Structure 1
């Protein structure tokens, strides 16, 4: 998880923590909106029920997979925060202070981003479970 010096979080883990949850939310929204639009509003004519029977199971499956991906990104972000904590307390392990501060900043931004988009994924999953996709929102 760290580089050879043991004092930094590897950049690939920062990137996973920063982008996994937002990308999962984006994928979920793109797939859900596209499927709902094509099966509930063909040719701009609204239907009461979807054309295909498998739309709701597909939306639930996509929601679960995206929620798992977002949770993984958030878990990596929390793990990075724990890894960077000794640097924050002043144990810099021989690195320049500016590098340790940059790592800390990026890890904190990644944790905030993951937390925000994990909340968005959960809210979107609740909406998928409660609201019929073939009704006006």
Structure 2
């Protein structure tokens, strides 16, 4: 197997020598899918909860709770997507383990190990969305919707 990571015609190795170990789509699954699904969840939850309190010109005394399963269902979908995105990021991280020696702090100091850095960023992004989805579930189940 050829272990030379230099670009043809150059004397420098490529900064992401293991870029072919991770598919482009798998990298985007952990980087972009959890935030995109979280955005959709925020939009749908806002629409559903506002309609539960203000279905017409006059606000209701009590919210319509028939939308609660839909809101919590959206929250759970985001939770599952965030966990899946974190798992895919972790798999990407493991596949590129030999790209650059050292841990995550070494990736921030140099431009080497780009694929590994993107995998780490995907894990962090998915983790942030996971925490946000847990807060959303807790707020939708515990905080009064209509300010009552």
Compute the TM-score of the two structures, normalised by the length of structure 2: 0.72
Matched-pair contact (CA < 8 Å) for 2:82–2:126:
yes
Q: Measure how far apart 1:24 and its partner are.
A: 2.0
Give structure 1 regions of 4+ aligned residues with deviation exceeding 4 angstroms.
Answer: none
1:119 aligned residue: 131
RMSD: 2.5
Partner of 1:60: 72
User: Which consecutive unaligned segments of at least 5 residues does structure 2 have?
Assistant: 1-17, 103-109
Correspondence for 1:109 among 114, 121, 127:
121
Instruction: Answer yes or no: is 1:38 the counterpart of 2:51.
Output: yes
Q: Tell me the matched-pair count.
A: 124
Deviation string, structure 1 residues 85-109 (Cα, Å, up to 9, x no partner) = 222239xxxxxxx996221222122
Q: Give 2:23's match in structure 1, choosing from 5, 10, 19.
A: 10
Alignment of 1:73 onto 2:92 = no
Higher helix share: 1
**Higher relative contact order structure (alpha carbons within 8 Å, sequence separation ≥ 6):** 1
- Alpha-carbon deviations, 1:35-89, whole Å to 9, x = none? 11122123453323234x4211111111112211121111111111122222223
Structure with the greater alpha carbon radius of gyration: 2
Which one is further off, 33-42 or 6-15? 6-15
Is the contact between residue 45 and residue 71 of structure 2 (CA under 8 Å) also seen in structure 1?
yes
Give 1:7 deviation, angstroms: 5.4
Distance 2:83 2:58 in 1: 37
Query: TM-score w.r.t. structure 1 length?
Result: 0.77
* The 10-residue stretch of structure 1 (77-86 or 39-48) with the greater mean CA deviation from structure 2: 39-48
Give the Cα–Cα distance (whole angstroms) in 2 for the partners of residues 14 and 109 of structure 1.
10
Q: What's the CA shift string for 1:21-42, capped at 9, x where partnerless?
A: 1112111111110011122123
